[in-house]
Structure 1
Amino acid sequence: MARTGNDPVAVIGLGRFGTALALELVRNGTEVLAIDSQSKIVQGLTRQIPHVITADSTDIEALRQLGLPEFQRAVVAIGTDIQASIFTTSLLADMGIPDIWAKAINGRHGDILARVGAHHIVAPENDMGERVAHLLSGRVLEYVEIDTDFAIIKTKPPGDIVGVPLREARVRKRYGVTIVAVKPQATIPTGEPRFTDTTPDTVLSYGDLILVQGTIENIERFAAAE
C-alpha cells in the first residue's frame, strides 16, 4: 500500500467495532487495509473500503504476503474468538509492528493481549470505533463525543493560529469551533502547567495543548488544519 500523509492502518476483524473503526478512518483520509476471515463480510464492504481482504490472521505467511510487517499501526478488532485475537496480536508483535491496538471483551482478555504485545487495549463499551479512529489519526490526543454530532478534543494548535491573540485568529469564524482551554507547553514558575480558560487575548504557542469543542464535522476540519 502506498504511504500517505497518515501512515496506513491495518484493521483485523470486521465485526461491529472493526467496521466502524475502518469506515471512520477511511472517511478521515487514512489508508486502511481491512482484513476478515469471512468472505461474506468482506464482500459487503468492498464499495466502502478500498482495500478489504479475506484472510486468516492467525496464518503468519498470509500476514506477510499482505505486507503487514511494513505497517506502523494495526488494530486487532476480532470479536468473540479470543484465541484468534490473542494469536493475531502475538504475530503482529513478533513482526515488530510498533503500535498495536487490540479489542478486549473483558479485563482478563485485555491483560493477556497486553502480555503478548498489544500497546493499547480497547474496551468497546467505553471506546467506540469512531473515537479510536480519531486518536489513531495522530492529531487528536483525546476525543470525547458529547452527543451524536458534538465533541470535545484535546489537541495541539495548528500553525495558522499560533502567535496571535485568539480574537485575531478568528477560530470560531474560520472553523466553527471554540477553543475553551489551554495548557502551556513551557514550564511555569509555579510548577506544572495546568489547563486554564482561554480569553480573546490568549496567545497560543507550538506545543501547547488545547481543548476544542464543536460539531464533529467542524472538529475534524480543525484537527486536519496545518
Structure 2
Amino acid sequence: MAEKKGPDREAGVLVVGLGRFGSSLAATMDRLGQDVLAVEKDPALIAQWSGRIPLVEADASNPEALEQLGAKEFGAAVVGVGSSLEASVLITGNLVDLGTPQIWAKAISAEHGRILTRIGAHHVVFPESDAGSRVAHLVSGKLIDYIEVEDGFTIVKMRPPKEMQGFTLAQSNVRRKYGITVMGVKSPGQEFVYATPETRVSANDLLVCSGHAELLERFAARP
C-alpha cells in the first residue's frame, strides 16, 4: 500500500471516497500542506488521482482494511461516499468502532444524515443541499458570495447600493438603517481593509457584510 507516512499523523485527515466531494476536499487539504490520505476502491479513480494526492487502494467498508492502513492513527476522517447508503453507513460505523476522534460524513438526504448521526458521526454535511441553497441566494439577488455561519447569521460579498457610493460608512449609517454591519471593503487593485466609520465607499468597491440573512438580502436588493 502506498500509505503516506508523516511525523504528525494524529493531526492528519483520512478521506474515504474520491468522488467529486472527496477528491476536491483531499486535493485542497494536500495543497494546503495538511497531512491527508485518501482511500478509494475504484481502480479507475485510483488511476485518475495516483501521483496527485497521497492515496491507497482499499475497501473501507472492511474494518480489517482500515486497521491495516492505520486509520486509527488519524485525528479525523471524512466519509465522502454518498451514493451507496450501505457503504456510507458501514464505513462510518467502522471508523466509530476504531475510535476516530472526529468523523465527518457526507449525506444525500435528511434520513441518511439521521442514520449517520445515530451511529456516531460527529458532523454530517449535505454538500448538494448546501450548494443549492447558497447558489439560490447568488442567482436571485446582487450577492457575489454568500456564507451562512449559524442560525441565520450570514456573511456576504456584494456591490454597494447607490446610496452608499461616495460616502463614508459613518455618513451612510447602514447599521442603524438596515441592521447589517460592513466588515471590510476591497477596492480595485487595493488590499482588503477592515471597515471603520471613516471608510469611504466607491461604486467599484466590494463590500464584505454580516448580519441576519433576511436583512442582508433586503439590503443587497436596494438599487
TM-score, scaled to structure 1: 0.58
1:178 paired residue number:
193
Equivalent residue runs for 1:11-50 within 5 Å: 11-49=15-53
Which 4+ stretches in 1 moved above 2 angstroms? Answer: 3-6, 150-154, 175-180
Greater CA radius of gyration, 1 or 2? 2
- C-alpha contact (below 8 Å) 1:6/1:31 kept by paired residues: no
User: Which one has more relative contact order, counting CA pairs under 8 Å at least 6 apart?
Assistant: 1
- C-alpha contact (below 8 Å) 2:10/2:73 kept by paired residues: no
1:169 paired residue number:
none
Q: Over residues 1-52 of structure 1, what are the superposed CA-to-partner deviations in whole Å (9 max), with x where a residue is unaligned?
A: 3134992110001111111111111111111110111122012101210x21
TM-score, scaled to structure 2: 0.58
| Identity level (%) | 40
CA distance in 1, matches of 2:123, 2:108: 14
Q: Over residues 189-216 of structure 1, what are the superposed CA-to-partner deviations in whole Å (9 max), with x where a residue is unaligned?
A: xxxxxxxxx568xxxxxxxxxxx95xxx
Equivalent residue runs for 1:15-164 within 5 Å: 15-49=19-53, 51-127=54-130
Task: Look up the SS of the partner of 1:17 in the other structure.
Answer: helix
15 and 89 in structure 1: CA distance in 2 versus 1, 3 angstrom threshold:
same
- Aligned-residue RMSD, C-alpha: 3.4
Pick the structure with more helix per residue.
2
Task: Look up the SS of the partner of 2:121 in the other structure.
Answer: coil
38 and 109 in structure 1: CA distance in 2 versus 1, 3 angstrom threshold:
same
Count of residue pairs the alignment pairs up: 152
113 and 79 in structure 1: CA distance in 2 versus 1, 3 angstrom threshold:
same
- The gaps in structure 1 that reach 5 residues or longer are 129-145, 155-171, 181-197, 201-211, 214-226
